Amino acid sequence: MESSFKVDVDCPTCAREIEEKLSGLKGVIEVEVYAVSGRVLVEHTSEVTENELKSYIHELGYETSFEGSYLEYTSIWVGSRAIKTWIGGLFFITAFLVNFVFTGLEFYLISFYGHELFISSILYLASVVSAGTPIVKNGFRSIRNYDLNIDLLMTIAIFGAIGIGYYVEAAALAVLYSVAELLENYSINRARSSIRDLIDLSPEVAMLKTSDGLKEISVDKLNEEDVFVVQPGERIPMDGVVVEGSSLVNQAPITGESQPISKEKGDEVFAGSINDTGYIEARVIRKHSESTIQRIIQLVEAAESGQTKREKFVNRFASYYTPIVVLIAFFTILIPVLLGYSFETWFIRGLTFLVLACPCAFVISTPVSIVSGITSAARNGVLIKGGNILETMGEVDVVAFDKTGTLTSGEFQIDEIVPLNGYSEKDVVRYLYSLEQNSEHPIANAVSRYADKHEIKGERASDFESDTGLGISGEIDGRRYYAGNSDLFEKKGINIEKEVGEITSRLQRLGYTVILIGGLEKFIGVVGVRDSPRPEAGQVIDRLRSLGVEKVVMITGDNEKTANNVGKEVGVDSVYAGLLPEEKLRVIQDLKKEHVVAMVGDGINDAPALAEADVGIAMGAAGTDVAIETADIALMGDQISRIPYLLKLSIKSNKVIRQNIWSSLTVKFLLALGVPFGYVTVIIAVLVGDMGMSLGVTGNALRLSRTKP
């Protein structure tokens, strides 16, 4: 069973806390809590129900709500916590003014257990009460749950400061720490709302075509086979196939490609894209919840789940860091006091250590960076399936490209037809067309286009078989025929006539991909097809090198001569040709021994190699469910120019994460060094170590969303 709902987590450490507590429950198999979206996903047995899980979370002190609302936007700066903070701040400023500037207003009130209370003291305390209540509440929650969270440490620090009459410090702690928390929430919310923007792309209603006119209907009420209408200028509400009309459609929201694409009868359109010019009618092909944009949204949300190595390191580190610093705080107070130094001085220094024990900045820095990077990639048509993948991508030093459809356009052209054994050109095309009608290979598209254009009809062959990377076969008029490269015929034990061999070599030298067509007894003909390298392929490869990729290779099932021609033209370092899918896989395994390898392919017949590579990148994934499902990264559009962008983004995000972790550690360390000498006060610790660092790391993370293709 699986339950999924939203919980109001406002800090990454809280998410971990809930995760840990839930996974200890009976009947719970696996738990994931996404810090950014607040989504809780629990896999469990029937021993525990969703309601029990929720009430347990409630007992831990968190609010839960229903599925669906987990990306709801609540403004951080006007929430109840914010208002308490602002009031606390006002009290603090007033107190400060009375205390140090308009000292005429200051007067002595009473003495209370040896504490001298002035007007300003009361104002400071009011500030603590207002800004500090939520902190203290969270602190007690942590005692109840038997763990050491940062709110508890802050609570101790605040009470400690009050206890020795350091009202300014107590108030500053309460106010500044609250502001730091608000900032943290704000940046989590920024990341959250960038996911929400994706959701806003797809319309909620569609115009359904019915027998008595058009009817507005909510998209989740539409069924497959329903026909909907889209006027020019409107967003397309569902994934569908055009059945009437034609138009230019801007698919940028899905694929990141901004040039409008012409759509005619039979073409697929995607929910969320914009119908620019014409009126179209389309037939629904996927339910709303399974539409391409919905899957993108689901995957982007789930992308938080794949923890990066650094994130794991940080979390492990944080779990040691806090208790160690707390111990330091304890000894900072104990030792000097035993040695007879001033209790007050060292007590407040100890409290300063408690404040420094907050791992906040470095715990939040990674998830925020990753969400920021992954969401901005999704907007540019690049779907990255997890933080760990973004991280690995940033370490890639070998990129392997598939040839057909990846480095080349995949749009084959039939240029040469050589009939044999008394057959005509038309016969050759007819047999080939009969066979290819069953195939989805780019070559098959070329054949069907050619047959249409020359009005050649061919019965669809029966008993179809495909030998991936070799070719296809089927029965025509009760006999078996084959179409593919010479390896296919060798495999089938068909002797390749001398003449056929010569024609094949001649065409291959000219750069053709050669298709032999024949039956068990004799050959019907040879066809030379060609697709050209993408014009931008050379530039893309240069750009990859300048980004630090050591080696760019091409891996293909096509013949060596053709492959070498293409390889030379686009400038790859090496070419591996004539490979079957499992041989492609072996090449990847070899490369992986010394390198971090990314493989770029079409995701359909390259699936094994894509799966084997450290990072598998599928091109042209919009509409092909398999590719979106299996690849680590899916390029929704068909542009290889997204690969350098992807690499740049990943390298940058690794850098940002590293900077964030090390700078926050360094700052904490330097602050800690200053404490025993009295250079770093409680106020500086919370101002710099908490508020400043939170601001710094999230600001740094948001830089990622500005990376442009």
User: Which residues have a catalytic role annotated?
Assistant: 402
Least separation in angstroms between residue 552's CB and Mg ion is: 17
With CB under 5 A as the contact rule, the residue among 155, 185, 404, 485 that binds Mg ion is: 404
> With CB cut-offs between 5 and 8 Å by kind, which of Mg ion, ligand ADP, none does residue 668 bind?
none
| Candidate segments 86-94, 367-375, 376-384, 395-403, binder of Mg ion by CB under 5 A | 395-403
CB burial readout 624-641, b (16+ within 10 A) else e: beebbebbbbbbbbbbbb
Nearer to ligand ADP, 15 or 472 (CB): 472
- The reply to whether 402 sits near Mg ion by the rule CB under 5 A is yes
Residue 480 per-residue DSSP state: E
Q: CA-CA distance, 514 to 519, in Å (whole number)?
A: 17
Least separation in angstroms between residue 584's CB and ligand ADP is: 7
> With CB cut-offs between 5 and 8 Å by kind, which of Mg ion, ligand ADP, none does residue 471 bind?
ligand ADP
Nearer to Mg ion, 307 or 404 (CB): 404
Nearer to ligand ADP, 139 or 603 (CB): 603
Nearer to ligand ADP, 156 or 444 (CB): 444
> With CB cut-offs between 5 and 8 Å by kind, which of ligand ADP, Mg ion, none does residue 612 bind?
none
Residues in contact with Mg ion, counted by CB under 5 A, come to a total of 3
What x-and-dash track marks residues 292-311 binding Mg ion by CB under 5 A? --------------------
Residue 408 per-residue DSSP state: B
> With CB cut-offs between 5 and 8 Å by kind, which of Mg ion, ligand ADP, none does residue 585 bind?
none
Q: Are 704 and 369 in contact (CB under 8 A)?
A: yes
For residue 30, count other CB atoms closer than 10 A to its CB.
12
> With CB cut-offs between 5 and 8 Å by kind, which of Mg ion, ligand ADP, none does residue 53 bind?
none
> With CB cut-offs between 5 and 8 Å by kind, which of Mg ion, ligand ADP, none does residue 295 bind?
none
Phi-psi region of 353 (alpha: psi -120 to 50; beta: other; left: phi over 0): alpha
What x-and-dash track marks residues 589-628 binding Mg ion by CB under 5 A? -------------x--------------------------
In the complex, residue closest to Mg ion by CB? 404
Q: What is the residue type of 161?
A: A
Structure tokens at 189: 């919310």
Least separation in angstroms between residue 583's CB and ligand ADP is: 10
Q: Are 599 and 606 in contact (CB under 8 A)?
A: yes
Q: CA-CA distance, 111 to 113, in Å (whole number)?
A: 7
| Candidate segments 192-200, 270-278, 400-408, 637-645, binder of Mg ion by CB under 5 A | 400-408
| Candidate segments 127-135, 279-287, 402-410, 699-707, binder of Mg ion by CB under 5 A | 402-410
Q: Are 563 and 512 in contact (CB under 8 A)?
A: no
Q: CA-CA distance, 33 to 41, in Å (whole number)?
A: 6
| Candidate segments 403-411, 566-574, 659-667, 700-708, binder of Mg ion by CB under 5 A | 403-411
Least separation in angstroms between residue 602's CB and Mg ion is: 5
Name beta bridge partners: 262. Answer: 248
Residues 6+ apart with CB under 8 A from 296: 198, 254, 378, 383, 636
Nearer to Mg ion, 404 or 559 (CB): 404
Q: Are 544 and 399 in contact (CB under 8 A)?
A: yes
Least separation in angstroms between residue 629's CB and ligand ADP is: 20
Phi-psi region of 629 (alpha: psi -120 to 50; beta: other; left: phi over 0): alpha
Q: Which residues bind ligand ADP (CB under 6 A)?
A: 402-404, 436, 439, 441, 443-444, 469-472, 483-485, 513, 515, 556-558, 605
Q: CA-CA distance, 531 to 409, in Å (whole number)?
A: 6
Q: Are 700 and 658 in contact (CB under 8 A)?
A: no
Nearer to ligand ADP, 387 or 484 (CB): 484
Nearer to ligand ADP, 305 or 468 (CB): 468
Least separation in angstroms between residue 417's CB and ligand ADP is: 14
Q: Count helices and strands (H / E) in the chain.
A: 24, 28
Q: CA-CA distance, 170 to 125, in Å (whole number)?
A: 8
> With CB cut-offs between 5 and 8 Å by kind, which of Mg ion, ligand ADP, none does residue 558 bind?
ligand ADP
Nearer to ligand ADP, 36 or 516 (CB): 516
Residues 633-662 that bind Mg ion (CB under 5 A): none
Nearer to Mg ion, 85 or 404 (CB): 404
| Candidate segments 75-83, 396-404, 467-475, 661-669, binder of Mg ion by CB under 5 A | 396-404
Nearer to ligand ADP, 420 or 443 (CB): 443
In 183-341, beta strands by DSSP E: 205-210, 213-218, 227-230, 240-245, 247-250, 261-263, 268-269, 274-275, 280-284
Q: What is the residue type of 340?
A: G
Structure tokens at 451: 């047959």
In the complex, residue closest to ligand ADP by CB? 557
What's the CA angle centered on 369, arms 368 and 373, to 5 degrees?
A: 120
Q: What is the residue type of 559?
A: N
> With CB cut-offs between 5 and 8 Å by kind, which of Mg ion, ligand ADP, none does residue 473 bind?
none
E strand or H helix at 136: helix 119-144
> With CB cut-offs between 5 and 8 Å by kind, which of Mg ion, ligand ADP, none does residue 513 bind?
ligand ADP
Structure tokens at 614: 């450290």
Residues 6+ apart with CB under 8 A from 59: none
> With CB cut-offs between 5 and 8 Å by kind, which of ligand ADP, Mg ion, none does residue 410 bind?
none
Structure tokens at 449: 């286009």
| End-to-end C-alpha distance for the chain, whole angstroms | 41
Least separation in angstroms between residue 641's CB and ligand ADP is: 20
Least separation in angstroms between residue 644's CB and ligand ADP is: 21
Phi-psi region of 553 (alpha: psi -120 to 50; beta: other; left: phi over 0): beta
Positions touching Mg ion (CB under 5 A) are 402, 404, 602
